[in-house]
Structure 1
Amino acid sequence: MPDTVLPELQNNKVVGRLQQYALPLAVAVLVIFHVVGFWGLGLSGRPAYFQSLTPLNLLLTNALLFGFHRGWTGRFLLFAAVVFAAGFLAEVLGVHTGLLFGNYIYGETLGTKLWEVPLLIGLNWLMLVYATGNMVQKLPVHWLLKAIAGAILLVVIDYFLEPVAVTYDFWSWHADIIPLSNFIGWFGLSLLLHIWFQKMNFWKQNKMAPYVYFVQLLFFIALNLLLK
Structure 2
Amino acid sequence: MLKTITTKANITRKYKYNKYGLPLALAVLVIFHAVGFWGLLFSGEPAYFQNLTPMNLLLTNALLFAFHRSWNRAFILFAILVFAVGYFSEVVGVHTGLLFGDYTYGQALGLKVWEVPVLIGLNWLMLVYVTGHISNYSNWHWIAKAILGAGLMVLLDYFIEPVAMRFDFWSWSQSDIPLSNYVGWFIVAFILQLYFQKAAFIKRNRLALFVYFVQLLFFVSICLLM
TM-score, structure 1 length as denominator? 0.97
- Aligned pairs for 1:42-61 within 5 A: 42-61=41-60
Match of 1:196 in 2: 195
Secondary structure of 1:105's aligned partner: strand
Letter aligned with residue 195 of structure 1: L
Question: For residues 175 and 91 of structure 1, what CA distance do their matches in structure 2 show?
Answer: 18
Query: Per-residue displacement from partner, 1:38-93 (whole Å, max 9, x unpaired)?
Result: 00001110100000000000000000110100110111111111100000000000
Match of 1:100 in 2: 99
Matched, 1:71 2:73: no
Question: For residues 180 and 8 of structure 1, what CA distance do their matches in structure 2 show?
Answer: 58
Secondary structure of 2:219's aligned partner: helix
Question: For residues 2 and 73 of structure 2, what CA distance do their matches in structure 1 show?
Answer: 40
Identity of aligned residues (%): 59
Q: Structure 1 residue 138: deviation in Å? A: 2.7
Letter aligned with residue 66 of structure 2: G
From the superposition, tell whether residues 36 and 93 of structure 1 become closer, same or farther in structure 2 (CA, over 3 Å).
same
Matched, 1:216 2:224: no
Matched, 1:167 2:161: no
Match of 1:138 in 2: 137
Q: Structure 1 residue 137: deviation in Å? A: 1.2
Secondary structure of 2:33's aligned partner: helix
| Superposed structure 1 runs of 4+ greater than 2 Å apart | 2-8
Structure 2 gap segments, 5+ residues each: none
Structure 1 gap segments, 5+ residues each: none
Query: Per-residue displacement from partner, 1:21-54 (whole Å, max 9, x unpaired)?
Result: 1001000000000000000001110100000000
Match of 1:32 in 2: 31
Secondary structure of 2:60's aligned partner: helix
Matched pairs, number = 226
Secondary structure of 1:70's aligned partner: coil
Question: For residues 175 and 62 of structure 1, what CA distance do their matches in structure 2 show?
Answer: 32
Question: For residues 192 and 116 of structure 2, what CA distance do their matches in structure 1 show?
Answer: 19
From the superposition, tell whether residues 103 and 22 of structure 1 become closer, same or farther in structure 2 (CA, over 3 Å).
same
Question: For residues 192 and 8 of structure 1, what CA distance do their matches in structure 2 show?
Answer: 44
Query: Per-residue displacement from partner, 1:130-186 (whole Å, max 9, x unpaired)?
Result: 010011113111100000000000000000000000000000001211000000000
Q: Structure 1 residue 7: deviation in Å? A: 4.2
Question: For residues 14 and 177 of structure 1, what CA distance do their matches in structure 2 show?
Answer: 53
TM-score, structure 2 length as denominator? 0.98
Question: For residues 126 and 165 of structure 1, what CA distance do their matches in structure 2 show?
Answer: 19
